Amino acid sequence: MKIPIIIDCDPGVDDALAIILALRHPKVDLKAVCTVTGNGDLENTTKNGLKILSLCGREDIPLYKGSGKGLDDKQPDTVPAFGDDGLGGYAHVVQTDKQIEQENAVDFLLRAADESNGEITLFATGPCTNIARAIRKDKEFPKKFKKLIVMGGAKYTGNMSPVAEYNFWADPLAAKEVMNAGFHEIVMIGLDVTNKIALGADIREILRMFDTDLSRFIYNITRVGLEENWETRRKPVAPMHDVLTVAYLIDESILTLKKANIDVVAEGIGRGQSIVDIGGHWSDGNCNALYAAEVDVEKFYKLFLTTIFKENEQEILEYLR
């Protein structure tokens, strides 16, 4: 049986990759996409979400527009990591007539929770605002999902400050409320592992040579991220953080998880920092989440590439061997 999922996101190059991987894998049933401000303002991330669904020929999947402002009622700073349009300057290439649904993302999430029978896995690959707003409206909301898989936080690093990752930093109160809301299971996939799966220049070049619509799209949207990493860190790699959430759903053995108690700093110098207490050492053994400690990078690439480019499977396997 297929696994039903909803992705709440801020597309975004890596959100786009997460959606594409979900749509290309036979095990995954993407029920809906919700959008939030993040890799661009809400209009921008929403437009990108519509374009990605159209690109993949899945206009039938509904897209719900969510929160433009954080829980503090201010628009969070957007990140230019993927260019002004959020898709590496390449968004204009995809045309779409697809429209958003009339229902707001928060109302949709509340309805989906009620109709879920506890079977839906919820993904958060952007700031947690929509999900936190749903929880504020219905305290039982978390219990109505199978689990939450969130790209956010980190134990040992940050990308907005020495200690804070963007999704948690953008709406830290939302992240805090979501982590402490009582989901049956939360898997927190943070920078400690997502930094390790950044797309290297060699594999990106192979995508160019595959020369399909999708491979050209991924090649082009990852250019800005790669150049930014080269300029700032002398590393020719493009960020792909969010895609690891869907890869984990498909093959859990890609990640090594550790039980942990995870909280988020809502304000001050540590704003957005995730405090990861492995084993609940400082919390009387209580753990509210699973923390992604390690990633099997080779296994990830095998899954990611052979799922999205099935027709090139042999070449991929030979290259990775």
Q: Which residues bind ligand RIB (CB under 6 A)?
A: 12, 14-15, 38-39, 79, 125-126, 151, 159, 165-167, 241-242
Q: Rounded distance, CA 307 to CA 317, Å?
A: 12
**From residue 60 to residue 79, what is the string marking binding to Ca ion with x (rule CB under 5 A)?**
--------------------
Scanning 71-79, 98-106, 210-218, 238-246 for contacts with Ca ion by CB under 5 A, the matching segment is: 238-246
Q: Which of 242/277 has CB closer to Ca ion?
A: 242
- Nearest distance, CB of residue 48 and ligand RIB, angstroms: 11
Q: Distances in Å between the alpha carbon of 217 and those of 6, 212, 213, 228?
A: 23, 8, 6, 18
Active site residue 184: no
Q: Rounded distance, CA 303 to CA 251, Å?
A: 8
Does 12 contact Ca ion by CB under 5 A? yes
* 158 binds, options Ca ion, ligand RIB, none, Cβ within 5 to 8 A by partner type: none
- Nearest distance, CB of residue 122 and ligand RIB, angstroms: 15
C-alpha torsion 131→162→17→9, nearest 10: 20
* 177 binds, options ligand RIB, Ca ion, none, Cβ within 5 to 8 A by partner type: none
Q: Distances in Å between the alpha carbon of 226 and those of 34, 237, 288?
A: 27, 5, 35
Half-sphere exposure of 105 (CA within 13 A, CB side): 28
Which of 15, 85, 165, 277 touches Ca ion (CB under 5 A)? 15
Does 125 contact Ca ion by CB under 5 A? yes
Does 171 contact Ca ion by CB under 5 A? no
Active-site pick, 25, 92, 184, 241:
241
Residue positions counted in the chain: 321
Q: Which of 10/192 has CB closer to Ca ion?
A: 10
Q: Rounded distance, CA 59 to CA 52, Å?
A: 9
C-alpha torsion 259→289→81→96, nearest 10: 130
- Nearest distance, CB of residue 33 and ligand RIB, angstroms: 14
- Give the ranges where 138-242 is alpha helix by DSSP (H): 166-170, 172-179, 191-194, 201-210, 213-221, 223-233
- What tokens were used for 64? 């719900």
- Nearest distance, CB of residue 191 and ligand RIB, angstroms: 6
> Angle 75-76-81 (CA atoms, 0-180°, nearest 5)?
130
Number of residues binding to Ca ion, judged by CB under 5 A: 6
* 159 binds, options ligand RIB, Ca ion, none, Cβ within 5 to 8 A by partner type: ligand RIB
Would you name the residues annotated as active-site residues?
A: 241
Binding site for Ca ion (CB under 5 A): 10, 12, 15, 125-126, 242
